[in-house]
Structures are given as C-alpha cells and as structure tokens.
C-alpha cells in the first residue's frame, strides 16, 4: 500500500508549526499506524531527508495511553474503541492522503512535532490526593460488601487510560470525561468515600486552573474514547461537585 502523509512538524513549543508531506510505499495492510511511522522515520534518517518525526508511544498494546494522534480529523483515527497503536493500515485505502496532527488543547502544549505535554492530567490526579484505607496484607474476599452494579461501574470508570482523546475531540478541550472517570471509580467504592467531597473539589479546581474548557454536552468525548468511558461519569462528577459545595455526601 502507498500513502501520502501530511504530518505536523514543529521544532518546539515556541516555534511555528507547519505540515510537511511525505510518501510511504510497500506498507503492509497488517502494519499498525505506528509501525508505518517507524518505516517513514527509517526512510527519513537513512536517506538523510529530515529529522525523524517525533511521536509518543510506549506499550503499543492499547494500555498506556501514550500514543495519541489526531488522524484525518479524529483522535486515534478512523476506527472505534481503539488507540492509535491499535489502528491498522487496512482501515485505509491504497493511495489515501492522511493528515496527522498532535492533540490541540491549551492544556496540552506541543513539545515537538506530534508530541504534547500531558502532565496536566497528572496534576489533576495529584490534586485528588489519596484514599484512607487500611494497609497491610491482602484482605479476605467480601470483607467490604460492594453491590455488583457499583463494582461494575467503578471498574468501567477505572478503565480510563488518560490518553487525552476526550480533550482532543471536544470543541472546548474539556477534560470532564477524564475527571469524571477518575472521580467516579473512587467515589463509587467505600474506600474512596472518606475524602470524596474534598477530592472532587480539588480535582475540578485544578482542571479549571490548568486551562481545560467547559463541557457543553456534545458527547464527542464518549464517541472518541478508546476505552468507551460513558458520559454518565460526567453527570456523576457534576452531582458530586454540587454536593460537595453544600456538604452533602453523595451515595452514587
């Protein structure tokens, strides 16, 4: 397969970026998108054409959330429920033109090329603090009874990998789905209820401080989330936020 790639190149956060066009050939349909970029970089270096294209990656198994790219107008590309590293070239047609950009958000400044600084997410997590729970050995099963539907909801929320696709998809660059998932997976469990009110206030305040936009309920975040985190977590976040302002203990 042959592709024409329009890739965002930017020397650093202060430099003005631009698109550069490259062509790759003999790409297997079973090749992943990141493997295709590896092939491109090998060509750029070996033929002394340009510096290799910088992009984030780590596990390449859809676990770590490092490999976020904006591909043809969609976070992670033209498939549902996958990260960029799980996107394969068979999803494209031979001869396609592909536009590749970094995440676009004030809170995610570009470091170089397709790499953005996502430490804003880490700062939101840090603002949430810890949970109060007994340390020591592994507790016996069912020591703390938890209703199955609550455990399932908490597990679904905890599946968030913090890739930032929700922010990239949102017209306001809102982080509400991410913060909603992180608040929910602790607030739904007994271990997370002690600091629940304080946690939600600190995380929401930190989110606003870092420059993320407001949620306007377009649900683009849910549509593009590789782990299919549900928008109900945003509603839960709002309920807990309002409850924390009036000193109410939410039970959901």
pLDDT digits (tens, 9 = 90+) for 137-150: 776 767 778 888 99
pLDDT at 92: 97
pLDDT at 169: 97
Residues 99, 81: Cα–Cα separation, whole Å: 20
157: three-class secondary structure by DSSP: helix
pTM: 0.91
pLDDT at 135: 66
Mean pLDDT of 88-97: 97
Share of the chain above pLDDT 90, in %: 84
C-alpha pair distances (Å), 87 with each of 29, 77, 129, 149, 238: 11, 7, 35, 32, 33
pLDDT at 248: 63
Burial of 221 (C-beta count, 10 Å sphere; 0-12/13-18/19+): buried
Residues 88, 91: Cα–Cα separation, whole Å: 6
pLDDT tens figures, 153-176:
999 999 999 999 999 999 999 999
Mean pLDDT of 193-219: 94
Question: Which residues neighbour 94 within 8 Å (Cβ) at sequence distance 6 or greater?
Answer: 1, 2
Mean pLDDT of the chain: 93
Give the pLDDT band (50/70/90) at residue 245.
confident
Residues 143, 148: Cα–Cα separation, whole Å: 14
Confidence check: pLDDT of 251 > 70: no
Mean pLDDT of 67-95: 96
pLDDT at 252: 63
For residue 152, count other CB atoms closer than 10 A to its CB: 12
Confidence check: pLDDT of 61 > 70: yes
Q: Which phi and psi angles does 22 have, rounded to 5°? A: -130, 160
pLDDT at 132: 76
User: Lowest-confidence range among 50-64, 198-212, 233-247?
Assistant: 233-247
User: Lowest-confidence range among 50-54, 135-139, 142-146, 230-234?
Assistant: 135-139
Confidence check: pLDDT of 249 > 80: no
Mean pLDDT of 122-128: 96
Mean pLDDT of 7-15: 95
- The answer to whether residues 55 and 36 touch, using CB atoms and an 8 Å cutoff, is no
Give the pLDDT band (50/70/90) at residue 191.
confident
């Amino acid at each position: 397969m042959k592709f024409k790639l329009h890739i965002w190149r930017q020397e650093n956060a202060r430099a003005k970026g631009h698109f550069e066009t490259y062509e790759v050939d003999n790409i297997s349909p079973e090749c992943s998108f990141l493997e295709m970029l590896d092939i491109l970089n090998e060509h750029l270096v070996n033929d002394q054409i340009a510096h290799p294209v910088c992009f984030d990656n780590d596990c390449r198994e859809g676990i770590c959330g490092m490999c976020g790219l904006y591909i043809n107008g969609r976070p992670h590309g033209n498939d549902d429920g996958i990260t960029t590293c799980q996107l394969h070239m068979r999803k494209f047609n031979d001869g396609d033109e592909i536009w590749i950009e970094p995440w676009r958000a004030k809170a995610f400044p570009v470091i170089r090329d397709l790499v953005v600084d996502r430490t804003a997410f880490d700062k939101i997590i840090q603002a949430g603090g810890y949970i109060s729970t007994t340390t020591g050995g592994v507790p016996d099963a069912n020591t703390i009874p938890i209703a199955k539907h609550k455990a399932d909801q908490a597990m679904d929320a905890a599946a968030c990998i913090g890739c930032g696709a929700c922010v990239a998809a949102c017209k306001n660059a809102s982080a509400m789905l991410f913060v909603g998932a992180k608040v929910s997976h602790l607030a739904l469990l007994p271990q997370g209820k002690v600091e629940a009110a304080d946690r939600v206030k600190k995380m929401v305040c930190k989110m606003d401080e870092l420059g993320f936009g407001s949620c306007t309920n377009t649900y683009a975040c849910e549509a593009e989330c590789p782990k299919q985190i549900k928008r109900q977590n945003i509603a839960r976040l709002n309920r807990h936020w309002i409850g924390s302002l009036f000193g109410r203990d939410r039970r959901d």
